[in-house]
Amino acid sequence: MSKKDKSEIIPKNLNFSFKRVMAIASKTINQFRRDRRTMALLFVVPIVIMLIFGLAFSGEVKNVPIILDNQDVEYLSTNFGLNLTESLQADNSVDITVGDYSEGIDLVEIGKFYAAVLIPDNFSESIVQMHMGADITVNLFIYVDATKPTIRASVIGAIHSALDEAMGDKGINVVQEIAHGGAEFTGIDVGIPAVIAFVLIFLLVIVGTITVVREKIQGTQNRLYSTPLRSSERLLGYVIGLLLIALIMITLVLIFGVVVFGAKVQGNVFLLIFAVTLFGLAHVFLAVFLGNFAQNEMQAIQFAPLTALPSMALGGMLVPIVSLPVWLQPLSYLVPLTYGINLFEGIMLRGWGFAELWVEIGRAHV
């Protein structure tokens, strides 16, 4: 090639041009402007997500359901148990239901309440005798769910606050018995069930929608329709492939959580795998469904945060559902992550079997 030919190929002006930079920037912006759905997601989604997170984190742990059994008998015209009951009922961090302590234990075990409190029949008598110098210990008994550390701390805090207000001192011994086999949980124990559910939702929606959209863009979908392949066969193929990917991801999460970090699994491992499979299957169908509405990979990717981030705020992953504003709590039951966390916490932390979990399994699968 001659020098003249080379000079015609190589641009003569190699100086930096801000005009060319702005041309590229304008081209990039115009690509978004032509895609109205992407433009709407870019501006609407951040507002919606920040609104949800702002409302979720503005709440405090309130109205935690607990059962209170006051068996205290009045002694010398004094009933400290009644005073304590009234103080607890005035505290909005707990929601008191009067009932039997032994029945309350069963209700805590199945997740209907977070604690059962017993004020024994000799409560007032023991307090009076202690104040008169008797060497005795006054006990208050509580059976508490330890799978939600923030809720447990709120319940214990409410009891101590009520004791201070009703008794005027701190001479009462609060005897705690931990539910679900007495297991104490670390942060990793409590966090792993939520991580499993979130990984399934977030990654499966991304992978599933991109897979469907890519076939649509590349024309593979049209070529498949021209073959004897049935729609049901195509859908089943998607489901099996994406479900295998989901199981690999969850296997990695469990290996790191259980083997590396020592997270507890109180329940049956095979039941956990079965629950994970059903929950993953539901989100494979969700991914395929969303993929039909996306026109390009950019839109497909945007479905993932649109699905996952509100789930984090409303599903109980970052803050307990009881900490949400009361009017916002019903929305949490529309979020799949809520049922995923309940499902996996039930197996891993509470040691529940199928008898206790069939409702959650049904909800998660739907």
Domains of the chain listed by start with CATH number: 64-182 (3.40.1710.10), 187-365 (no CATH)
Q: Mind listing the pLDDT tens digit of every residue in the chain (366 residues)?
A: 555 555 555 555 557 777 777 777 777 777 666 666 666 666 766 776 677 667 666 667 788 899 999 999 888 777 888 888 998 988 888 999 999 999 999 999 888 899 999 999 988 888 888 878 788 888 899 999 988 888 898 899 999 888 888 777 667 889 999 998 887 887 788 888 888 888 888 777 777 777 777 766 666 655 655 666 666 776 777 778 777 877 887 788 778 777 887 777 888 888 888 888 888 888 778 877 777 777 777 767 777 777 777 787 788 887 778 777 777 788 888 888 888 888 888 888 888 887 777 765 555 444
Residue 236: CB atoms within 10 A of its CB come to: 11
Amino acid at 186: T
Please answer whether residues 358 and 275 qualify as being in contact, where contact means their C-beta atoms are separated by less than 8 angstroms.
no
What confidence score (pLDDT) does residue 359 get? 60
| Nearest CA-CA partner of 105 in 140, 143, 141 | 143
What CA–CA distance (Å, rounded) separates 308 from 208? 14
pLDDT of 5 reads 55
Give the full edge-to-edge strand order of the sheet including 172-178.
94-98, 64-70, 115-119, 138-144, 172-178
Secondary structure letter of residue 259 according to DSSP: I
* Residues 6 or more apart whose Cβ sits within 8 Å of residue 255: none
Tokens (6 digits) for 166: 């009703």
pLDDT at 137: 85
User: Which residue carries 């479905």 as its tokens?
Assistant: 303
pLDDT value at residue 75: 80
**Tokens encoding 352:** 């529940």
Is residue 67 classed as helix, strand or coil in its secondary structure?
Answer: strand
Q: What's the pLDDT score for residue 224?
A: 57
